[in-house]
Amino acid sequence: MHLSPPQKQQLLGAVVEAAQGRVPVVPCASDSHPAGVIAFARFARQCGCPAVIACPPYYFRFSQEEIKAFFNRVADSIPLPLLLYDIPQFTNSIEPETVALLSRHPNIAGIKESSGNLHRLRQILEQQDKPGFAVLIGPDELVLPSVLAGARACVSGTSNIVPEALVALFDSIRSGHLNTAKLLQNEIIRLIQHLSQFNFPTGFKIAAECRGHELGDLKQVLSSGQKDGLTRFKRETSDLIKELLERISR
């Protein structure tokens, strides 16, 4: 959201180059109008991406019928499978009934459900009958209950900071060690709550730098209080990350 179209293209090219085919790169092509989504999806195809994800048009309010028309237009026009992105806190909502209808489109392959509402997630799962339709979640705070409910995976922000924690959490769930999974989930929530002292993604970007990743200047403007507390925040963040990694290695 904070990058210009050329910057988004430059970033995608750098990520694809760094991945070197080891993992699929699925970029976000969201825009306020179908043409913007379509254009970025075509660029993603040129970069070798296997799919793209997009949220509904934002800023103005749209009906569910208009949202269906938006996604059908995009899915009809792009050369890659499309994942829906439901994040109603920041844009228009994709209601579970609308997800069920859109999933019938042959080029719509799944959804990232980021409402943070487990009841909504269960509705999507219960209304879904398309083989292979991927239901993913966004909030790292809800990995454990969401996967137990039937979600396939998490599109994780915290894994940019402590991928070890998310891998350990998923391994614990899959192996049936739910007490360990609960402890790990709570530690991840603790870290996220700490990072929430800054607006997303600023806190996460600072945390990634605490792990040695050079990410450049912040796009968002910090308040005077945040600037004054930045050194302390970095120190506390480093301590939390160290503590979490030590817990995982035991």
Q: Does residue 59 carry a catalytic annotation?
A: no
Task: Give me the helices (H) in 78-162, please.
Answer: 96-102, 118-126, 143-149
Indicate which residue of 8, 112, 130, 219 is catalytic. 112
* Amino acid present at 62: F
Indicate which residue of 8, 58, 68, 85 is catalytic. 85
| Closest C-alpha among 168, 185, 201 to residue 28 | 201
Q: Beta strands 153-154 and 134-137: pairing type?
A: parallel
SS3 152: coil
What residues have CB less than 8 Å from 18, skipping those under 6 apart? none
Q: Does residue 130 carry a catalytic annotation?
A: no
Q: Are 127 and 152 in contact (CB under 8 A)?
A: no
| Radius of gyration of the CA atoms of the chain, in A | 19
Q: What residues form DSSP beta bridges with 83?
A: 53, 110
Q: Among all residues, which ones are annotated catalytic?
A: 85, 112
